[in-house]
Amino acid sequence: MSLERIRRFLAGQHPPSPFLVIDPAVVTERVREFARELPHSLLFYAVKANPEPAVLRAVLAAGGGFDVAGPAEITACLAEGVAPDRLSYGNPIKKPADIAFAFDRGVREFVTDAASDLAHLAEHAPGASVTVRVLVDAPASATPFGRKFGCSPAEAAGLLRRAAELGLDPAGVAFHVGSQQADPAAWDAGIAAAAKIFAEFPFRRLNLGGGFGVTYRAPVPSLARYSAAIRASLAAHFPAGAPETALEPGRAIVAGAGLIRAEIVLVAQRGEHRWVYLDIGRYNGLAETENEAIPYRVDAGPGERGPVVIAGPTCDGDDVLYQHTPYELPLSLKAGDPVEILDAGAYTASYSSVSFNGIGPLRTYCLD
């Protein structure tokens, strides 16, 4: 069990707090679990969730590919020996120079959602495969994408047709149901929209995106339940057989591989509230506590507990982690006590600022 492996690794070591510890064996196991539950899907790990080289190597060793968002992530993958044909440039927002950079390094799979980006692809990535991302209504996720990405399903066939006219390979359709999506039925609307597009313009690959949830404080369905819902939707909307599918999980691959060790800086009674200040906050690793979107499990040891407001260490009024979500921590907590934040391998280190209030980014240590 990973928590034990991480605790054993930490025994006798005292790196400066706070820090993240990653167990790459968990990453490998999660990629294999996706391969078992959705055996006919290609897997492209979303590198932004955690670009740590050991994580990339674990995904590679387990047979996965990579969803990359720009030149730096491409370079990071190539540096670990990933072949460029295992990279998918999934970010619809890219500079022409970034497209040229990717193409020059051998990347041939791109996601697009706009005619202007398609023109850039035709110019800087001639002949490359393009997948058109559509915006679909999904039930709210914990961290939704809003309306930032995706053309309307009605526009998608037109973009695929245009891609072919421009000499590109119109490979497929993609959608993303929003990250930390707790509802396995969320994929149905996207699969239904894809089937309509397919009737107009047959394509060969359907990219189902990421979004698979992680059990933080509230349980989410098992991967088996997500996959059963997705398979049922594919069968319902593509009765004559679905195109090949691809997945881009990020959070579900790496969250469970990571544990953050932090420390109490201060405990203060303010009116009726007990405020607990940690040495980690919004800017040095816990960015996803914005709007209290991700309620991490916080373990501060045994003992009688009472309600707390949990805040970060910086001089910023927004650096409060939880004041609406009810949390209880031991009444005996005092400055210097250790705190563990569990399932913290995704969207933590990669999200931390470089020097806000002089606090550096979250350091990562990886088990062998």
Ligand X SMILES: *Cc1c(COP(=O)(O)O)cnc(C)c1O
Give the residues lining the site for ligand X (CB under 6 A): 46, 48-49, 67, 90, 176, 179, 209-212, 248-252
**C-beta closer to ligand X: residue 131 or 314:** 131
Q: How far is the C-alpha of 132 from the C-alpha of 175, rounded, in Å?
A: 8
Nearest approach, Cβ of residue 235 and ligand X (Å): 23
Buried b (16+ CB within 10 A) or exposed e, 9-28: bbeeeeeebbbbbbbbebbb
Nearest approach, Cβ of residue 207 and ligand X (Å): 8
**C-beta closer to ligand X: residue 47 or 321:** 47
**C-beta closer to ligand X: residue 145 or 365:** 145
For this structure, is 77 an active site residue?
A: no
Nearest approach, Cβ of residue 268 and ligand X (Å): 35
**C-beta closer to ligand X: residue 63 or 330:** 63
Of the residues 77, 151, 315, 366, only one is catalytic, namely 315
**C-beta closer to ligand X: residue 50 or 314:** 50
**C-beta closer to ligand X: residue 156 or 276:** 156
Nearest approach, Cβ of residue 134 and ligand X (Å): 12
Nearest approach, Cβ of residue 111 and ligand X (Å): 7
Q: How far is the C-alpha of 168 from the C-alpha of 51, rounded, in Å?
A: 30
Nearest approach, Cβ of residue 49 and ligand X (Å): 5
Q: How far is the C-alpha of 92 from the C-alpha of 114, rounded, in Å?
A: 8
Q: Which residues are catalytic?
A: 315
